[in-house]
Structure 1
Amino acid sequence: MRRDEELALIEREMMLLARHQVLATARTNGGPDALERSAYTLLSRIETEGPLTIGQLAEAFGLDTSTVNRQTAAMLRAGLVDRIPDPDGGVARKLRITDEGLRRLHQDRDWSIQGLARVVDGWTSADLAEFAEVLERFNRDIERIQGRPWPRA
């Protein structure tokens, strides 16, 4: 198979993956306190890195600060994050995930993992490890091109 044919197959499969939204469906069907997709992603970043300013979040995701400000304002109203003084002495206040934010993030993550487990039920451990490795490589290459790596443990 030629490279352009392989790339066309990958593009089609990625389009289909986005269409299925198995993990997103698990979250939105999770009940009245299921997180919005943007809140899930922002909370995941704050959980990974610790308290961040709106500017740091905007930079991390390549978004306009006004967009992140709207998203974080909704998270503040919902009690998912709170504002704290910069522990490093900076002027800008940082957003810290609350206990409620952690509870809801972990709840949604558990629903997502359960949905994913149903999809890969017949896969071997070797299949799962290979897929995880290739998917991480793919994401790291996107992050490298964009210049915005996601912090990993």
Structure 2
Amino acid sequence: MDANRIEFETMLLARHIARPRRGEGNLESSAYLLLSRISIQGPMSVGELSEAFDLDTSTISRQTTAMLNADLVKRIPDPDGGMARKFLVTDEGRKRLEQQRAGNVRGLDVVIEDWDPADRAAFATYLERFNNDIERRTGHPWPRPADASAPRA
């Protein structure tokens, strides 16, 4: 059954991606995800992050506290004048996010280096479609950076 194969392969993919790496920024997976979201969307409150990730505010609070302590984010007043303070990625957070993302891209490039360019493009298209369908069904869309579809050097 296709759904069984997809479930198994996505489980393995998650395992491979979550595998700790030496160097490359050394971010915890939760910090990598939170920094990615804030860097794309802009400053976000605990409530907004909780909604975006469909997690308890207590979980988000623990994760953002660890990120504050590591100087990955800082708290700022709501730029729109709201009451809740928001998290903004610091220069250190941006640097470590970019380092880790670059390491991830290098690792993926090694894995797919022998793939035909059409296969690479098709795989990216199917992954994007798969994620978009999940987001549509769950009601938790993930914003994409403007350059997400751009070819990388």
Is the shorter-chain TM-score for this pair beyond 0.5, marking a shared fold?
A: yes
Q: CA deviation at 1:124?
A: 1.8
Q: What stretches of structure 1 move > 3 A for 4+ residues in a row?
A: none
Q: CA deviation at 1:125?
A: 1.6
Name the counterpart of 1:30: 23
Name the counterpart of 1:16: 12
Name the counterpart of 1:135: 127
For 1:75-127, what per-residue CA distance to the aligned partner results, in whole angstroms no more than 9, with x for missing partners? 00000000000111000001000000000000000111111111111012211
* Structure 1 residue 102 corresponds to structure 2 residue 98: no
* Counterpart residue type for residue 37 of structure 2: R
Name the counterpart of 1:55: 47
- SS for the counterpart of 1:28 is coil
* 1:39-118 paired onto structure 2 within 5 Å: 39-118=31-110
Name the counterpart of 1:120: 112
TM-score (norm 1): 0.89
Name the counterpart of 2:151: none
Q: CA deviation at 1:15?
A: 2.6
* Structure 1 residue 7 corresponds to structure 2 residue 3: yes
Would you say the 8 A contact 1:28–1:35 is kept in 2?
A: no
- SS for the counterpart of 1:79 is coil
Greater helix proportion: 1
* Counterpart residue type for residue 143 of structure 2: P
Any gaps of 5 or more consecutive residues in structure 2?
147-153
Would you say the 8 A contact 1:82–1:96 is kept in 2?
A: yes
For 1:9-48, what per-residue CA distance to the aligned partner results, in whole angstroms no more than 9, with x for missing partners? 22222233233x1x333x53226x5110000000000000
* Counterpart residue type for residue 52 of structure 2: A
- Aligned identity (percent) is 58
Q: Structure 1 CA distance, aligned partners of 2:90 and 2:105?
A: 22
